[in-house]
Chain A
Amino acid sequence: MHDIADLERRGVVGLFLASEAFADAARLQGEALGFPAPFVLVPHPVQDRTDEELRATAERIHPQVVAALTA
């Protein structure tokens, strides 16, 4: 989130992807940083998924990612 806050400061439109376990932390850190960095959540956990499952995840979040990055 710090990276996105800095990159937005540099003029790059930003977004980060996090697992659902990270949702509260992301929201709290956004509030603590005073910066509403947008994020899209994926199902938790990530590391034990098969490649196929992870590619399906990417396909599922793709519309949300585009929506969060465009006006």
Chain B
Amino acid sequence: MRTVLDPTGERQTSARELLPRPSSLRGRRVGLLDISKARGDVVLDRLEELLTADGAVVHRYRKPTFARTAPVDLRHEIAEQCEVVIEALAD
């Protein structure tokens, strides 16, 4: 276990925090990132329909293999095109 000392005025948590969440998905650009595991796409297809019905604008992505992190170009593309991303489906 490595320990470092907090360099801040310690008014906030020192943990890495999640980004603030939007109040709703309506009008948000939501990426669905398929990790290329068998049949995950069936779940994502239905989720796309449901999110679209919620008012989200859905973009679909697929990474080449579930065994590795997504290529940097793909992550950049998602960051450029989306405000929200859902990665699926690890089993």
Contact with A along B51-91 (1 / 0, CB 8 A): 10010000000010000011000011011001111111111
Q: Which of B19, B42, B50 contacts A8 (CB 8 A)?
A: B19
Task: Say yes or no for B11: interface residue by CB 8 A criterion.
Answer: no
Interface size class of A (residues with CB under 8 A): 35 or more
Minimum CB–CB distance from B52 to chain A (whole Å) comes to 12
| A35-B9 Cα distance, complex, nearest whole Å | 22
B15 in contact with A12 (CB, 8 Å): no
Contacts of B91 in A (CB 8 A): 18-19, 21-22, 42, 44-47
B31 in contact with A12 (CB, 8 Å): yes
| A34-B1 Cα distance, complex, nearest whole Å | 12
B47 in contact with A65 (CB, 8 Å): yes
Contacts of B30 in A (CB 8 A): 69
Closest to A58 in B: B46
Contacts of B38 in A (CB 8 A): 46-47
Contacts of B5 in A (CB 8 A): none
Q: 6 pairs across A/B with beta carbons < 8 Å?
A: A3-B33, A3-B69, A7-B75, A7-B78, A38-B18, A70-B24
